[in-house]
């Protein structure tokens, strides 16, 4: 089950599908014309993904859309690229978003996760997660028990073949604990996870040089070859970025922070 699309993305997908249908083109033919996969075209039409602005323009050009249609769809495209989905909206039909996170990770060949606030959910012990979930639930709308169970269950993806996870965490997280006695077992779990074939763990030191940590973000590189996208979590909601220029900025930031980070045996020594 895919992410629940917003109203803007549902309308945008429906408009793009109508343009394709009126042009007498199937999804495979259009995909070849604009240089994406057929599955990507299907996801766009269902409102699950948003094309970059140039690809949307190519779609409209390939389908011979009238100027009025082009203007309407480009306005919707801009709205889709700049919208922030509030947690209230995202949680409207579910008790937690762990299944959404599981699907996103399952669809990715490479996940690059930077966290300066909390340790990544995929690396949390049950006790650590049990204490941080209430701290992050400012709206009181999450089923904590279901959230915890699903978070621990989705950690199985770390042991699946053909996956790669690069975790970059701020050094201060190695000293912060949500409750007394939680941190030592959590650090031990980080050491264990770092030895998994799919996992590379790095620590951005407090005295890092040459990199601004800014805020949390996750870069996901889909396994089907679809374009890389970025998920950014804020206190009030989530933003998904797909525009190539935006994604490139996060990729550059990731490289700068990773180059400034402690990796390998030095990172394990720090954890121990």
Q: What does the pLDDT read at residue 93?
A: 60
3-state SS class at 111? strand
Q: What are the beta bridge partners of residue 218?
A: 113, 231
Residue 92's pLDDT is: 63
| Predicted confidence (pLDDT) per residue in 197-221, tens digit | 999 999 999 987 777 888 999 999 9
Residue 207 confidence (pLDDT): 86
Mean pLDDT of 168-175: 96
Q: Is the pLDDT of residue 85 over 80?
A: no
β-bridge mates for residue 217, sequence order: 114
pLDDT above 90 covers a percentage of the chain that reads 65
Q: How many CB atoms lie within 10 A of CB 61?
A: 12
Among 164, 172, 168, which residue's Cα sits nearest to residue 258?
Answer: 168
What phi and psi, each to the nearest 5 degrees, are found at residue 170?
-70, 140
What pTM value is reported for the model? Answer: 0.79
Q: Which residue has the higher pLDDT, 139 or 161?
A: 161
């Amino acid at each position: 089950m895919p992410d629940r699309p917003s109203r803007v993305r549902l309308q945008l997908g429906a408009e793009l599908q109508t343009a394709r249908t009126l042009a007498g083109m199937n999804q495979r033919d259009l995909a070849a014309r604009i240089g994406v996969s057929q599955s990507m075209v299907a996801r766009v039409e269902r409102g699950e993904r948003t094309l970059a602005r140039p690809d949307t323009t190519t779609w409209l050009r390939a389908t011979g859309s009238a100027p009025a249609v082009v203007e309407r769809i480009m306005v919707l495209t801009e709205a889709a690229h700049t919208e922030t989905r509030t947690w209230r909206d995202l949680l409207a039909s579910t008790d937690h978003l762990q299944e959404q996170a599981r699907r996103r990770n399952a669809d990715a060949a490479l996940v690059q996760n930077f966290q300066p606030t909390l340790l990544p959910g995929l690396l949390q012990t049950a006790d650590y997660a049990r204490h941080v979930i209430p701290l992050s639930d400012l709206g009181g709308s999450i089923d904590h028990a279901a959230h915890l169970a699903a978070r621990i269950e989705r950690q199985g993806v770390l042991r699946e073949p053909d996956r790669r996870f690069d975790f970059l965490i701020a050094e201060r997280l190695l000293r912060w604990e949500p409750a007394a006695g939680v941190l030592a077992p959590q650090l031990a779990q980080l050491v264990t996870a770092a030895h998994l074939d799919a996992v590379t763990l790095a620590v951005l030191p407090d005295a890092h040089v040459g990199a601004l940590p800014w805020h949390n973000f996750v870069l996901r590189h889909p396994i089907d070859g679809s374009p890389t996208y970025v998920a950014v979590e804020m206190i009030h909601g989530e933003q998904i970025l797909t525009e190539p220029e935006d994604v490139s900025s996060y990729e550059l930031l990731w490289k700068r922070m990773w180059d400034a980070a402690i990796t390998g045996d030095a990172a394990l020594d720090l954890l121990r």
